[in-house]
Amino acid sequence: MRVAMNGGTQRSRGRVLIGKPGLDGHTRGAKFIAKALADHGYEVIYTGIRRTPAEIATAAVQEDVDVVGLSLLSGAHNTLFPQVLAELRKLGAADVPVIAGGVIPQADIPGLLTAGITAVFTPGAPIEQILAAFDEACTRRRKMS
């Protein structure tokens, strides 16, 4: 079967998963980012609230996304973000970059970056910066593979 891919429609930039680990139910930020990414040309899979790190990692692997985005406002980021990374490793997906956002104190950011989070955004970060981070992470990963 050889059907060319560009039947006049635009290809997507890549696939991303937006996950909300932890227990907080504040979806405004996560949904805005998800919609903005879709408008920017990504296929976006949204997990909904209260997902465990294992659920997020499993979904990311089944969907074979290029980037995982995490949003958390409850303050449990130091516990849960590294857990998502660990679950991804367990599934052989350590190469999938993870970008995080939420109410995260500046003091916690270096630790999260060291743990393997690609980028961390706090409230008020301009959307262009966030989209650029996804673009960069996605491009880098696609080049690697």
Partner 1 sequence: MSDPVPSSIEWGTLTTRRLGQLMTAIEEQRPEAADVVAALQRQTWPGLTVGVTGPPGSGKSTLISALVRELRRRRERVGVVAVDPSSDRTGGAFLGDRLRMMEHATDADVLVRSIATRGHGGGVAPAVSDLARLLRAAGYAWVLIETVGAGQVETDVVARADVTLLVQAPGLGDEIQALKKGILEVADLVVVNKSDQPGAVELRRQLETWAASPERVLATCATSGEGIAELLQAIDARRPERASETSRLRARREEVRGLALAILRDRLDASLRDADVTRGTTWEAAERLVASLRFEP
Partner 2 sequence: MNTNEDFRRWENEILRPFLAQAPERAEQFATGSGLELPRLAVPAEPTAAYSRDLGFPGEFPFTRGITPTMYRGRLWTFRQYAGFSTATEANRRYRYLLEQGTTGLSVAFDLPTQLGLDSSDPMSAGEVGRVGVAIDTLADMERLFAGIPLDRVSTSMTINATAPILLAMYAVVAERQGVPIARIRGTLQNDILKEYIARGTYIFPPAPSLRLVSDVIAWCAREAPDFNPISISGYHIREAGSTAVQEVAFTLGNAIAYIERALAAGQRLEDFGPKLSFFFCVTSDVLEEVAKFRAARRLYARIIRDRFRCDHARCQMLRFHTQTAGHTLTAQQPDVNIVRVTLQALAAVLGGTQSLHTNARDEALALPTEAAAALALRTQQVLAYESGLAQTVDPLGGSFLIEQLTDEIERQAAALIAEIDGRGGMGPAVADGWVQSRIEEAAYRHQCQIESGERQIVGVNCAVAPETATPPVFAVDPAVEARQQHQLAETLAARDAAAVRESLARLDVVAAGRENVMPALLDAVRRQATVGEICAVLRGRFGVHQPSV
Stretch that binds partner 1, among 49-57, 74-82, 97-105, 132-140 (CB under 8 A): 49-57
Told to check if 59 binds partner 2 by CB under 8 A, we report no
Stretch that binds partner 2, among 1-9, 42-50, 60-68, 134-142 (CB under 8 A): 42-50
Told to check if 114 binds partner 2 by CB under 8 A, we report no
Three-state DSSP class for 117?
Answer: coil
Q: Which residues of 51-70 are buried (b: 16+ CB within 10 A; e: fewer)?
A: bebebbbbbbbeeebbbbbb
Residues whose CB falls within 8 Å of the CB of residue 56, separated by 6 or more in sequence, listed in order: 17, 19, 21, 47, 68, 70, 84, 87
* 3 interface partner picked from partner 2, partner 1, none, CB below 5 to 8 A per type: partner 1
Told to check if 27 binds partner 2 by CB under 8 A, we report yes
Choose between 13 and 77: whose C-beta lies nearer to partner 2.
Answer: 77
- Angle of the 53-62 helix axis to the 77-90 helix axis, nearest 10: 40
- d(C-alpha 76, C-alpha 22), whole Å: 7
Contacts by 104-107, CB closer than 8 A, 24 or more apart: 104/72, 104/77
| In the complex, least distance from residue 123 CB atom to partner 2, rounded to whole angstroms | 5
- d(C-alpha 107, C-alpha 8), whole Å: 48
Choose between 115 and 142: whose C-beta lies nearer to partner 2.
Answer: 115
* 122 interface partner picked from partner 1, partner 2, none, CB below 5 to 8 A per type: partner 2
List contacts with partner 1 (CB under 8 A): 1-13, 15, 34-35, 37-48, 51-52, 54-55, 58-59, 61-64, 91-93, 145
